[in-house]
Structures are given as structure tokens and as C-alpha cells.
Structure 1
Amino acid sequence: MKRWLKISFSLALIAILMIPLAACNNDSAKEPKKLEKVRIAEVTRSIFYAPQYVALAKGFFKEEGLDVTLTTTPGGDKTMTALLSGGADVALVGSETSIYVYAQGSNDPVINFAQVTQTDGTFLVAREKIDNFSWDQLKGTTFLGQRKGGMPQMVGEFVLKKHGIDPHKDLTLIQNIDFANIANAFASGTGQFVQLFEPTASIFEKEGKGYIVASFGKESGHVPYTTFMAKESYMKQNKETIEKFTKAVYKAQQWVESHSAEEIAKAVEPYFPDTDFEIMTTVVDRYKSQGSFATDPILDEEEWNNLQNIMNEAGELPKEIDYKTLVNTEVAKKVIKK
């Protein structure tokens, strides 16, 4: 009898000890999965990249199990250095940079896998208000352009040539001023026209320092102006991660497409604490109305060819690169289909 009591007591004790253990197992089962880290290097902080900030602000990356960190690495060269050296997993930068890297003989090419913007993001700003602007009014003037070899400058020259203007003969072209100082140079009296990004163009207009007279984005047509890209080796080793990342980007693109400029500005506001909300809304509306934000992540062949044509016109295309060599649309198409 005593032996039976001892056995019963022992069994009861084991059962009691197992209860908290089971509870622990249940608790651990309820714990969220550890998020996978992905590091983005963006070429600049710009409202032009609104879908990226929406994906972050609305938690679309987290919904896909990704812990995304964002670092601004000013300039395409620095952004690509961060990507190639392993300082970043994904870069948000102009597609022309992937061509430059490939042309230098990289054995691990950078692949474009998700497009974010599909037009140029700059505007032509005049010092004086012009009611009926025509491009030939630039002839004989001083034009403050963008840095030589950069996508804005190449698009600028492409558009001028499209309108019968030789940028190196028909006007005085200034393109030796650092990107960060172009707006200040114009504000202090240099040039009669300037090529500016937002929100500077709208701020100048609001302050009466200049007037937007044309959009280079409308004039140049669709190009893969800014895309998410990664090294080929990273994409092969992290196929699931790239798919989740692209899915989050697509969610953000659809959200931007279906919401108002004011709602988009409100969503991305935390990333632009020093920008006036009214200006931000104006900028978003301007980009959205001219179709600058890609509505899906697919970079198509026509856009790729247009990019290389623009680079070639500017004398900056090192060599023609086949579309399938540096563009992967399989992931984007899979995400959209799902």
C-alpha cells in the first residue's frame, strides 16, 4: 500500500512539473517568428521614392517577415559601393548604375528585380514666370543642369535634343556644380533655367524664386529610373527573401495607386520631418499625376531599351547590355500572379 502511495505521489509530482513545461511550449509556439534582416541602401532621401516609405510605414515588409533597415548613401557611386562590398543587401538606385558595374567586368553582376519609379523626377524651373512656355525659349540662355554622367543630366540632354536644341551649342550649359549646391547656385543668381528635383522645385515656386514650366519626366517617357537591385549571388542564395521583399513593394505600389496624394503624404511624413506637409502633398500629387510611381515592380524591355537610348545619346553608354542579362522579372511576375 505504501509502495502504491509512493508511486501515485511520484506520478502526480511529475504531472504537476510537466504543466508549466507544457505551458512554456505553448507560449513559445505563440511567439512570432524572428524577422529576417534586409539592409537597403537608397541613393538619396526623396519623396520620389514614396512607395518604399509606404512599405516601411504601413508594415508591409514586416507582414512578409522582414526586418528592413534603411540607410541613405548619397550618390550612385556610394550606393553601389555599399552593395558590392556587402554593406547592403539591396540598393535603390538608377538602373544605369547596374550597366556601369557590368561594363567594368563584374563577375557578380547587379540585377534589377523591382522597379519603383518609371519616369525622370526632375522639372525645368525658370527664373521668370512664363505663361506660354516653349522649349526653343531656352536657346541663347544659361541652363543650370545636373551632374555629367548622372541620369538626370542624361535625360535633360535627351529632352533638349528631342526639341531640336543642341545642349552644347544652343545654350550655355553649366554642369560642374555639385548636386547639393545646384539649387543654391540658382537661388543666388546663376542661370535663367535650372533642372531641379522635388521638393526643391515646388519650394522655389512657393517662395517666388522660380517657376516650374515643364517636366522632364513627361518628356522623356518611361524609363527604369529607380529600381531595387541586388547582387546575382545574393538573389540566388536568398530567393525566398527577394520574393517576400518584392511582394511588400508591390503591396505598397498598389496602396499608393489607390490612395490620394494627401493620404500618401501622411503615410511618408515621418521620413521627411523637415518638409512642409502642404509641399509634400503637392509633390506627391505632381509625381502621381504624371505617372512617375510604377504601379507594379516589373521593369519591361521597352523601358530598358529607352534607358540605353538615353545613355547612348548622352555618350555615356559603355556598351549595350541585353535586357535579360541585368533584369529579372520572374520574381515580380510571380508576386503579381499570386
Structure 2
Amino acid sequence: MKKTWIKWVSLLLSAIVIFSLAACNQQTEKKEKRQKIRVAEVTRSIFYAPQYIAVEKGFFEEEGLDVEIKTTWGGDKTMTALLSNGADIALVGSETSVYVYARGANDPIVNFAQLTQTDGTFLVAREKVENFNWDQLKGADFLGQRKGGMPQMVGEYVLKQHQIDPKNDVNLIQNVDFANIANAFASGTGDYVQLFEPTASIFEKEGKGQIVASFGEESGTVPYTTFMTKNSYLKEKTETIEKFTRAIYKAQQWLNTHSTKEAAKVIQPYFEDTEIEIIETVIDRYKNQHSFATDPILDEKEWNQLIHIMKEAGELPSQVDYKTLVDTSIAEKIVK
């Protein structure tokens, strides 16, 4: 009787092992069948919440895609990754596609899906400010962003809207690398700084500064961050780009129809060092100022605003027509 019992236990354990191996093999085969796409994101930010939602909610997987996201920390590095075939798709400011085109690229970079539609930075003051007025920046040390980058150009545009000359009325500091701007401010550089989230809210909570204004609210709608790829890749992998864009659209709609608390919980794995309450605050702030695009279509009015801001900043290398660097055919097909 005892031998029979041992025999049955052995058979059961063998069956469990075989079943587990089979299931594991099926999962591996299923993953191997998915098409791999390498995405280079310009920075890691809650601003890009829909992208992380597309991964975590399985929207990319539903489309048969295995998406790998790599943070490249800066527009130049992100574009280099795309141009050198280190990435298939870049998530970065639309201005970078204009710079590449102006250099006479044989294979231009095309914007095919919009993720954010306002600036994502905030003006943070070192000291507590009562009744903030933009005139308070005059004569102050202002730690800005990279010259020619979208945050800096929008920052200068907003200052000009408030009759402040960014070259003469403030002491503009631009010699700090993008990845080190927050650390520089925390170390004592600047009276004011232009920061992305969640850093701005973290600094405020830790008493290192106070958020006094939103550049997104001040500058209006603009194609701030978009997914782009080489024109050749877009032509050769049209079906792949369509699947990718469809997953992004699902994520945009999910974020638009679910609570801030739900969204924060979904993207928390990408911000392990950030408290969930901070993530909720940031998502809420971006939602309230309509920073998250609710569909991937980059329209012509937004593009023209981008070109206007670049021209105002003296960074527009040449006039670029909307249809030259923007292809909305896939986004429009998906939304319809």
C-alpha cells in the first residue's frame, strides 16, 4: 500500500513538472513570436504615463509586440540612438526631427503619433513665494534647460509672453547637462529652475523649492513629445507602426477614462523611488492642464505653434512644412 502511494505521488510530481515545463515553453514561444520594438525615451517621466500603461496593461502584447524601453537622457542622445539604429522608435520632442531634416538627412525622421500636447515643466522657486508674479524673475538666476531643446524654447517663449527678455532680464544658466539640472538646483545653483515631474513635486514636498507656475498652462497646445521613426522604417514596417500606435491609443483612452489613483498604481513600477501619493499628484496635475493627448493625432495647428516657438527662440534652422515631417495616416485610421 505504501509503495503504491509513493508511486502515485511520484507520478503526480512528474506530471506537475512536465506541465510546468510545457507551460514555460509555451510562454517562451509566445514571447519569441512577438515582434520586438526598441523605444528610446528622452527621459523617464510621469509625463509619459500612457506609454507605461500600454506596457503594464498588456496593450502592446495584445498587438503581438514586445516593446523594450530604454531611457537615453536628452534629445541629442535619443536622436543619435534612432539614427544609428540603436532604437526603432524615439519618444522625444518634435523639434529634434526638424533639426535632423535641416542637416539634409537622406532618411528623414517622421512624427507618427503624439503622446503629450503641452509643455511638461514647472517653474520652481528656491524660496517660498507669496502671490507669485512673473516680474519676480527679473534680475534672478534662472537655471534653464538645454539650448535648442523644447523645454528651454517654451520657457523663453513664456517669459517673452510676460514681457521678460530671457537674454537680458534674467541671468539664464544653461551650462548644466540635462540629467544634472535637478541636482544642480538642489546644490544651490539658481533662484528659479525649470523642472519636470516628479522632481518638481518631490522638491516641493522636501522643502527644496516651491512650484509657482506651469509652463504647460502658459504656452498652450504644442506637439511636445511624439513617437517618431525613420521614414524608411515607417514605409517598411507600416503594419508594425500601426500595431504600436493602436496600443498607445488604447493606453491614452484608458488613462482618460480611469481615475488618477488607478493610473498611479499601474505606472508605479517605473517610479519605484517615488511615493504613490506623489505619482497621484503629478498625474492629476497633468490631467488638469490637459497635458496627456487623448489620441495620437498631431494636427497642423499644433505643428505650426511648434514652428512659431522655435522661430521665436531663434532656433528654427529652416521652415518645415507640416506634411514633410508628420504622417497622421496611421493615427487617423486607428482613431476612426
Instruction: Tell me if structure 2 keeps the 8 A contact 1:143–1:192.
Output: yes
Instruction: Tell me if structure 2 keeps the 8 A contact 1:52–1:252.
Output: yes
**Counterpart position of 1:42:** 41
When the two structures are superposed, what TM-score results if normalisation uses the length of structure 2?
Answer: 0.89
2-structure distance, mates of 1:137, 1:211:
14
- Alignment of 1:116 with 2:115, yes or no, is yes
User: Deviation per CA, 1:221-272, whole angstroms, max 9, x where unpaired?
Assistant: 1111110111111111111111111100000000011111111111111111
1:245 counterpart SS class: helix
**Counterpart position of 2:167:** 168
2-structure distance, mates of 1:296, 1:36:
24
Q: Structure 2: where are the runs of 5+ without partners?
A: 1-25
**Counterpart position of 2:88:** 89
**Counterpart position of 2:100:** 101
1:335 counterpart SS class: helix
1-structure distance, mates of 2:272, 2:266:
12
Indicate how the Cα distance of structure 1 residues 57 and 137 shifts in structure 2: closer, same or farther if over 3 A, else same: same
CA RMSD of aligned residues (A): 1.6
Instruction: Tell me if structure 2 keeps the 8 A contact 1:60–1:251.
Output: yes
Q: Which protein is bigger by CA-based radius of gyration? A: 1
2-structure distance, mates of 1:32, 1:161:
51
2-structure distance, mates of 1:262, 1:141:
38
Instruction: Tell me if structure 2 keeps the 8 A contact 1:125–1:193.
Output: yes
- Superposition pairs of residues 212-251 of structure 1, within 5 angstroms: 212-251=211-250
1-structure distance, mates of 2:229, 2:278:
33
2-structure distance, mates of 1:126, 1:77:
28
2-structure distance, mates of 1:92, 1:136:
34
- Superposition pairs of residues 44-193 of structure 1, within 5 angstroms: 44-193=43-192
CA deviation after TM superposition for structure 1 residue 43, in Å:
1.1
CA deviation after TM superposition for structure 1 residue 134, in Å:
1.3
CA deviation after TM superposition for structure 1 residue 32, in Å:
9.0
2-structure distance, mates of 1:89, 1:199:
27
2-structure distance, mates of 1:52, 1:272:
13
1:100 counterpart SS class: helix
2-structure distance, mates of 1:86, 1:169:
41
Of 219-228 and 34-43, more deviation after overlay is shown by 34-43
2-structure distance, mates of 1:59, 1:104:
38
2-structure distance, mates of 1:174, 1:44:
21
CA deviation after TM superposition for structure 1 residue 188, in Å:
2.5
CA deviation after TM superposition for structure 1 residue 190, in Å:
2.2
2-structure distance, mates of 1:33, 1:91:
23
**Hey, which bits of structure 1, 4+ residues long, moved more than 3 A?**
none
CA deviation after TM superposition for structure 1 residue 187, in Å:
2.1
CA deviation after TM superposition for structure 1 residue 33, in Å:
9.1
CA deviation after TM superposition for structure 1 residue 147, in Å:
1.5
1-structure distance, mates of 2:183, 2:33:
46
Query: What is the identity, as a one-letter code, of the residue corresponding to 2:329?
Result: E
- Alignment of 1:301 with 2:300, yes or no, is yes
Instruction: Tell me if structure 1 keeps the 8 A contact 2:73–2:179.
Output: no
1-structure distance, mates of 2:32, 2:88:
21
- Superposition pairs of residues 4-43 of structure 1, within 5 angstroms: 34-43=33-42
Query: What is the identity, as a one-letter code, of the residue corresponding to 1:250?
Result: Y
Instruction: Tell me if structure 2 keeps the 8 A contact 1:33–1:65.
Output: no
User: Deviation per CA, 1:90-147, whole angstroms, max 9, x where unpaired?
Assistant: 1111100000000000111111000001111110111222231111111121111112
Instruction: Tell me if structure 1 keeps the 8 A contact 2:245–2:331.
Output: yes
Q: Structure 1: where are the runs of 5+ without partners?
A: 1-26
Identity, in percent, stands at 74
Query: What is the identity, as a one-letter code, of the residue corresponding to 1:87?
Result: G
Instruction: Tell me if structure 1 keeps the 8 A contact 2:39–2:91.
Output: yes
